[in-house]
Amino acid sequence: MNYREQITKDHPLRYHGREKADVRYHDGALRHLKGVKSYQVMRACRNHPELQDDFGWTYNHAAALCWWQGRFFYEYLSNPVGEHEGRSHSLLVTSVDGIHWEKPQVIFPEYYLTAEHYQGPNKHLLPPAPETFCACMHQRCGFYVTKDGRLLVTGFYGISPEPHTAPCNGWGIGRVVREIYPDMQFSPVYFLAYNTAAGYNAQTAPGFPHFSESGNPELINACEELLADRVYVQQWWEEQRFDPNLFTQHGGQALCTYTDSEGKIVGVYKHAMCSITCDQGESWSKPVRCSSVETSTGKVWGQRTSDGRYILCYNPHTDSMHRWPIAAVTGENGHDFDSMLAVTTEVAPSRYQGFAKNFGPQYMRGIEEIFPQTPDGALWLAYSVNKEDMWISKIPVPVTGIQLTDVTDDFSELTPGGEVTDWNIYSPLWAPVAVERLEGKNVVTLSDTDPYDRAKAERAIPPAQVGKVTVRIMIQQIGADNAPMRIEWQDRKGAVPFFVTFGADAVLRAKGNGVYHDLCGYETGVWYTLETTFDCAQNRWQISVQRDGETVCEKALPFCQSVYAVERVLFATKENGSKQDLEASGKFMTIGDLPDSDEKLPLSRMVIGAFGCETKVGAQE
C-alpha cells in the first residue's frame, strides 16, 4: 500500500488515479471527455438587457436543474454586479432540447423588508426601520418533483448587511416555493419554511402567505411531502441551520446526494467533505474530508449514471479563485473513482468585475436521482461561468475519453437544429455551433459575433502516431475585425504540433517549425478539401489543399512541437481570447470591465461538410 492509499483507505470517497489537473490550462491539460456538448443558456449583457433577461444584471450564479414533462427547467439567482450585494432575485429558464433556451423570467422577485427583526451579525450596517432593504437570494437546490408528479421550485431569502456576511449563515428570512404547472403557468409565491430560529414568521416576514394558507389541497400536500423528505431538506442546512425541526444534526455546504451500490445514501459537500446516511436522512455519519478528491470551495456533483456506474464532477484542484475545468472521475460503487477527464475545456474571460467573481465553470448541479431523468440516458450538468453566464453540458454515457475506431462523418444522420453527435461542442449564444442544411446536405456551422468568446467543434480520433485526416470545409464569411479561423491537431494534453488558419486577408496559412507559411489564397463560399498526414516519430506533417477535385497546393513541414500521438482535431472561429491568468483575481473588483463586451462583431462563419481519419500507427495506452 502506497502513502496515498494509506491515508485515504478509510475515506468514503477515494480517487485512485494519478492524473491531476494543471490549472495553468483551462482544460487542466486533461484528456477531454469524448462527446460533451456545452451550450450557453444565458449570456450576461449589461448594455443590451433585452438580449439577456430585460435586467442586464451581471452576477448570475447557483444553477439548479430539473427534467419534467418533456422539458428542462433551469433556475439561477442574479444580482446587479457582485455576490451578496445590491438587489437580488431568482430566474427560471426552460428548454425542450437543452440546446435552445427560452428567455429567462423572474420566478422569485425582489423581496424588501426592514431590519427590525434581523438578529444576525452586522445589523448596524442595515438601514434603520422604517427604511427597507432588499433580501439576498440564495439556494443550494431548486426543484422538487412529488410522488404524484407535481413540480415545485424553491428559493431562499437571506440577508447580507455587507458582502462578506453570507445569506446562508442561518440568519435569513425563510424559504419560498411556487408550483409550476404543465401549461407553464405558476402558482403565487408562498413561504415554504420560515426561519423561525432567526425570528421570522408570518408576522415578521410579510409579503407572501404561508403555503398552508393557499387554499390549494394539492399544493399543501406537495409542500408537506417535500418537508418530510429528510435527505432532500438536509441540503438546506446552511441557510436554516438553527432549526431543530428541519435537521437532526450538523450538515455542510452545498450538499448533493446519491445512492451507492449497496443502497446507502452518500452525501458530498464542498471541500470533498462526505457523510453517509443509512436511514433516509434521520442520521448521518460525521463528515470526513476525502483528501484524494482534490477540490476547494466549488461544489461537487455525484450521481449514478444510466449504465449503472458512478461519476463525480468537480473543479479538481485547490485554487478556489480559478475554478477550471469541471472534471469527471468515474467508478463502479460510488466510493472508488478513477480516470479523470475534462468536461469543460474553454473559459472565456470575465467581462464584468464584481465582488467574489471566481473565474471559470463552477457550482455544477445535475438532475437529482429521485426525480425524472432525461430519456437520452445522458448526464446533464448546469453551472455558471465566471459567476456571470449560465451554461449546461450534456455528458454522454458511457463516459470515455478515447475514440476507438477511425471516423467517417458526413452528418447525413443528423437533424438540422439538433446536436452534433460524437463531437465535442462549445456553443456560446453569440458564437453558436449548429447543424444546418446547405446545398441539400447537412453541415456543421460555426458562427461568431462574440468579441471575447468563440465557437468550437472538436472531433476525437483514435490516438495515433501516424495518420491522415481529411476535412471538407468552407469559409462562408469572415469578419474584418476577427482573428483568423483555425483548425488545430492536438495531443491528449492539448499540445498542438501543427495547425492552419483562414485569415481575413483571404490567405490560408499553416504553422510548422514555429513559422507561419502561406499556402494559398481562398475564396469565401467555396468548398475546399484539406488532406493532412502526420508522423509523430518523424515530427513532420504534410497538407494538400484541393478545390473542385484539383490540388491547389501541397506543403510538407516540421512539427511546431513534438507529441507522442495526435488524438483530436479542433475547429474554432478564433484563437482563445482569455488573458486572465492565475495572477488575475475576481475577488475584490480589481480586474475592470472589458471594453465593448456587449457589442457584437461582424459575423465570421465556418462550415464543416465532412470529416474523416485513417490512423496508420496507433498509440499504446
Poorest-pLDDT segment among 184-188, 365-369, 445-449, 583-587: 583-587
Does residue 277 contact residue 231 with C-beta atoms inside 8 Å? yes
Poorest-pLDDT segment among 150-159, 191-200, 346-355, 570-579: 570-579
315: three-class secondary structure by DSSP:
coil
| Distance between CA atoms of residues 237 and 255, nearest Å | 9
pLDDT of residue 585: 87
DSSP 601: P
Residue 588 confidence (pLDDT) above 60: yes
Q: Percentage of the chain surpassing pLDDT 70?
A: 99
Banded model confidence at residue 618, pLDDT cuts 50, 70, 90: confident
pLDDT of residue 621: 56
**The residue to which cell 454522454 is assigned:** 396
**The residue to which cell 469565401 is assigned:** 524
Q: Tell me phi and psi for residue 366, to 5 degrees.
A: -100, -155
Which grid cell is 235?
A: 441540503
| Mean pLDDT in residue range 473-500 | 92
Does residue 20 contact residue 27 with C-beta atoms inside 8 Å? no
DSSP string spanning 91-146? EEEEESSSSS-PPPEEEE---EE-STT--STTGGGSPPTTS-EE-EEE-S--EEE-
Residue 579 confidence (pLDDT) above 80: no
Matching CATH number, 3-395, of 3.30.70, 2.120.10, 2.60.120, 1.10.30: 2.120.10
Give the burial string for 441-467 (b: 16+ CB within 10 Å, else e).
ebbbbbbbbbbbbbbbbbbbbbbbbbb
pLDDT of residue 245: 87
Q: How many other CB atoms sit within 10 Å of the CB of residue 182?
A: 12
What is each CA distance from 315 to 122, 251, 498, in whole angstroms? 32, 22, 30
Which grid cell is 357?
A: 467573481
Does residue 463 contact residue 565 with C-beta atoms inside 8 Å? yes
Which grid cell is 207?
A: 409579503
| Mean pLDDT in residue range 24-32 | 97
Nearest CA-CA partner of 175 in 144, 196, 154: 154
Does residue 288 contact residue 324 with C-beta atoms inside 8 Å? no
Start-end ranges of CATH 2.60.120.200 in the chain? 408-618
Residue 313 confidence (pLDDT) above 90: yes
Strand ranges (E), 373-506: 379-385, 389-395, 408-409, 424-427, 433-438, 441-448, 456-477, 485-490, 498-502
Which grid cell is 435?
A: 447543424
Q: Tell me phi and psi for residue 232, to 5 degrees.
A: -65, -45
Residue 620 confidence (pLDDT) above 70: no
What is each CA distance from 614 to 78, 189, 412, 530, in whole angstroms? 48, 59, 20, 14
Does residue 356 contact residue 387 with C-beta atoms inside 8 Å? yes
Give the burial string for 258-288 (b: 16+ CB within 10 Å, else e).
bbbeeebbbbbbbbbbbbbbeeebeebeebe
pLDDT of residue 377: 98
At 262, the amino acid letter reads E
| Mean pLDDT in residue range 209-226 | 98
Does residue 500 contact residue 530 with C-beta atoms inside 8 Å? yes
**The residue to which cell 445522458 is assigned:** 378
Strands, sheet with 273-277, edge to edge from the N-terminal-most edge strand: 256-259, 265-268, 273-277, 288-289
Q: Tell me phi and psi for residue 480, to 5 degrees.
A: -60, -30
What is each CA distance from 500 to 70, 538, 557, in whole angstroms? 42, 20, 12
| Mean pLDDT in residue range 381-403 | 98
Third-level CATH fold of 408-618 = Jelly Rolls (2.60.120)
pLDDT of residue 482: 64
Strands, sheet with 327-331, edge to edge from the N-terminal-most edge strand: 14-15, 336-342, 327-331, 310-314, 301-304
pLDDT of residue 248: 81
| Mean pLDDT in residue range 37-52 | 98
* CA triple 469-474-479, angle to 5 deg: 125
Beta bridge partners of 352: none
Banded model confidence at residue 481, pLDDT cuts 50, 70, 90: low
Mean pLDDT of the chain: 96
* CA triple 190-194-196, angle to 5 deg: 165
| Distance between CA atoms of residues 285 and 592, nearest Å | 45
Does residue 347 contact residue 359 with C-beta atoms inside 8 Å? yes
| Distance between CA atoms of residues 410 and 444, nearest Å | 10
Q: Tens digit of pLDDT for each residue in 514-544?
A: 999 999 999 999 999 999 999 999 999 999 9
Q: How many other CB atoms sit within 10 Å of the CB of residue 323?
A: 30
Start-end ranges of CATH 2.120.10 in the chain? 3-395
pTM (two decimals)? 0.97
Q: Tens digit of pLDDT for each residue in 443-473?
A: 999 999 999 999 999 999 999 999 999 999 9
N- to C-terminal Cα separation, the chain: 24
For the chain, the residue count is 621
Residue 219 confidence (pLDDT) above 80: yes
Banded model confidence at residue 287, pLDDT cuts 50, 70, 90: very high
Q: Tens digit of pLDDT for each residue in 105-158?
A: 999 999 999 999 999 999 999 999 999 999 999 999 999 999 999 999 999 999
DSSP string spanning 16-29? -------TTSTTTT
Does residue 278 contact residue 266 with C-beta atoms inside 8 Å? no
Q: Tens digit of pLDDT for each residue in 90-100?
A: 999 999 999 99
